[in-house]
Amino acid sequence: MGAVSTSGNTTLNAGSVVSTATGNVASLSLINNLVQVQVLDSPTITATSDGTTGTVTADDYSVAVTIAGQTTVLTAGMSIPINLDLGFAQTNLTLSVGELQDNSVGATASGSMDFLNLSGSISAPLLGQIANLDLGLLPLSATATAPEGGVECDRVDAPTITSPLDGSTVTDNPPTITGTGVPGAEVTVYDNGQPIGTTTVNPDGTWTFTPTEPWSPGDHQITATQSGPDGATSDPSNSVTVTVPGPPAPEPPVITSPATGTTVDDTTPPITGTGEPGATVTVYDNGRLMGTAVVNSDGTWTFTPSEPLSCGEHTITATQTTDARAASEASAPVTITVACPSGGTGDGGGVQQTSGSGGGSTAPLAQTGSPVDVGLLGLLGVLLMLGGATAVHRTRKTKS
């Protein structure tokens, strides 16, 4: 008869008690090697209790039986007769493969079986029946009972995130996250509630994790959990919120024309400069938005106002920005003067010359800068001319 071995194990799985029993039999040789039995699949019984219900199952198992050169495969519940004439005796035996017996009651799971059973009799011609057999080979059993409500495994303490600090702005992207936990535990790290990777706690209780992908600019809430060897998962760690800054703003653009301090006659003067290729330049007049231009591939840009600038002094500035980057600081200001058009209202105007009645030209009146003074002088001139005309009329009348 071959060697026989059994093994068993009891574990906790999701709050349930699980017990298993496994048997193994080496090849058997029976009745003077006339019967050979080979185990194809060893049996395993599993008993499970969740504290309310107990269940028991068995996996598939089988043997191959060879009698007089004829091989038959037997599975659970099957049997084969062994009827042999040995000359001095005859066998009337049956080899059976056992079935699982479910003995579960309530919350207790229980099952048993005899893997193989050899039963029957052996008789001799002169002696009659000389032996009766009922031999169970490789008996197995498994039992599991859990308390009401199941078994709650001890929960692993939550890990701790030690860096980066809560409320900080990180300079590395992606940032390295460190913390403490139970040595050997597996730590899962979350970014805004989504798992981004795992790491293992070192023997000294520390752990380190660096994401594989850069983080988007903005706020990120980091948490972590850890799992022990039995699979129990901790509550979340302390929450750490960090800010990932966006890319730095570009340098301010430069206005190259017109030059500061110049006077221009064009009320829509072209404004040119340099900047970062592809950037959008925004141009301002005395702090008021005028419009935008795109920097050419050679780093130059040109902007022409769509509306005329009023005559007088104008301070021109510009900023530039690119995708996903903040606007730059303002450029160095350029102050220009737009000349007033000819005949416009300036700080004073000339007075036209006035012709007297005698056809002669009078000298231009002195410019006083006051419209009231010019009117008074004009009125005085009229009165003088009227007085002269009267004197002439009187003279002519006297002569007549």
| Distance separating alpha carbons of residues 72 and 36, to the nearest angstrom | 11
Mean pLDDT, residues 27-43? 86
Which run of H or of E encompasses 184? none
Q: What residue type is 382 in one-letter code?
A: V
Token pair belonging to 138: 């490789």
* pLDDT above 60 for 396: no
> Which residues are CB-neighbours of 361 under 8 A, at least 6 positions away?
353, 355
DSSP secondary structure string for all residues of 139-156:
EEEEEEE--TT---PPPP
Which run of H or of E encompasses 6? strand 4-13
Q: Give tens-digit pLDDT for 157-186.
A: 899 999 999 999 998 999 999 999 998 999
Mean pLDDT, residues 313-329? 90
Q: Say how many C-beta atoms besides its own lie within 10 A of residue 69's C-beta.
A: 6
Q: Which residue has the higher pLDDT, 356 or 15?
A: 15
End-to-end CA distance of the chain: 183
- The CA-atom distances, in angstroms, between 122 and each of 67, 78, 97, 303 are 17, 22, 21, 116
| Distance separating alpha carbons of residues 236 and 224, to the nearest angstrom | 6
Which of 59-73, 80-94, 266-280, 334-348 has the lowest average pLDDT? 334-348
Q: Is 361 exposed, middle or buried (0-12, 13-18, 19+ CB in 10 A)?
A: exposed
pLDDT at 346: 39
Q: Give tens-digit pLDDT for 291-301.
A: 999 999 999 99
Confidence of residue 228 (pLDDT cuts 50, 70, 90): confident
Mean pLDDT of the chain: 83
Which run of H or of E encompasses 373? helix 371-399
Which residue carries 């004073």 as its tokens?
A: 348
Token pair belonging to 355: 């012709």
Task: Report the length, in residues, of the chain.
Answer: 400
Tell me how many degrees the CA angle 118-121-123 measures, rounded to the nearest 5. Answer: 145
Whether a cis peptide bond, with omega within 30° of 0, leads into 217 is no
| Distance separating alpha carbons of residues 100 and 58, to the nearest angstrom | 7
| Distance separating alpha carbons of residues 141 and 104, to the nearest angstrom | 12
Same fold, 160-244 and 254-338: yes
Q: Which CATH fold would you assign to the domain 160-244?
A: Immunoglobulin-like (2.60.40)
Of 231-240, 270-279, 360-369, where does the model show the most confidence?
A: 270-279
| Distance separating alpha carbons of residues 316 and 333, to the nearest angstrom | 6
| Distance separating alpha carbons of residues 222 and 179, to the nearest angstrom | 12
Mean pLDDT, residues 298-320? 96
* pLDDT above 70 for 356: no
Instruction: Using DSSP, state whether 372 is helix, strand or coil.
Output: helix
Confidence of residue 2 (pLDDT cuts 50, 70, 90): low
Which residue carries 């416009």 as its tokens?
A: 344
Displacement of CA 221 from its chain's centroid (Å): 11
Token pair belonging to 178: 């460190």
Confidence of residue 312 (pLDDT cuts 50, 70, 90): very high
Q: Does domain 254-338 have CATH number 3.40.50.1820?
A: no
Domain extents in the chain: 4-145, 160-244, 254-338
Whether a cis peptide bond, with omega within 30° of 0, leads into 175 is no
pLDDT at 378: 44
Q: Say how many C-beta atoms besides its own lie within 10 A of residue 111's C-beta.
A: 24
